Structure 1
């Protein structure tokens, strides 16, 4: 796999060095099943919030729990590689939990970014971000840009 993809423990060591060098760590997470314009605009907005962008990627097993048995469409190693090849992404780590609480507790990012379809009140990770002294930033949602919408369009088009 690409050299931007690390296990959480190793990434924690790397990020400690980045913080010591004065870099601000931004963290976001998601399934990123079929990469689309909503994802890339979202990641660009997240990167603009700090110096280093870390993406926590839901594993295949956690995507199944969140999205159902037919997902993910793309295996986790391929999704991680695609994300790692995006210019704005500095590091990727794969996690098996349904939320990013444990990853955030381990990595302690300065800023946690989620899309505008969330609010801080319904964000499962909010408490752990605040406990580690981090800030939460919500970025604008790209209306209509979703993997589900793409899948539905493909099904309608090729029925």
Structure 2
């Protein structure tokens, strides 16, 4: 059995996330989704607007048929990757630089494949947050 791993916050879950997971299944039989810990996010981004707790995001992801396993992570790093049994790391096409380059290098050095997956055009969590914020501001005026 081939296992694929992908990372994300998945707070404002949307169609792009679902399509990402479906793409992952084109490469492997077993999908592991790592969801970033909310406390870790707030430690480094205290102004972050998190809609769902870590536990709620886990519950959402665990109930998707396409997802086989959900785990929590702090940051994408070699230390995190070492602890996970996977064969392929799935990164978004825009996940470049810094920690993503380090993760990709670790994978290559440790016999893991890396695939770059396409984003769903016109949808992203940041855009959803902006739209919700704008709608809220219009309602208050």
Q: For the aligned residues, what is the CA RMSD? A: 2.0
TM-score (ref. length: structure 1): 0.77
Secondary structure of 1:57's match? strand
Q: What is the match of residue 106 of structure 1?
A: 83
- Aligned ranges 1:80-159 → 2 under 5 Å: 80-95=58-73, 97-119=74-96, 123-159=101-137
Deviation of 1:64 after TM superposition, in Å, equals 2.5
Contact 1:116 1:139 in 2 (8 A): yes
Aligned length: 136
Q: What's the CA shift string for 1:96-142, capped at 9, x where partnerless? A: x2224323212241110011112488533112212221000001012
Q: Which sections of structure 2, spanning at least 5 residues, go unmatched?
A: none
Distance 2:46 2:110 in 1: 32
Distance 2:2 2:121 in 1: 29
Secondary structure of 2:102's match? coil
Q: Which sections of structure 1, spanning at least 5 residues, go unmatched?
A: 1-22
Choose 113-122 or 55-64, whichever is displaced more: 113-122
Contact 2:41 2:48 in 1 (8 A): no
TM-score (ref. length: structure 2): 0.85
Secondary structure of 2:34's match? strand
Q: What is the match of residue 32 of structure 2?
A: 54
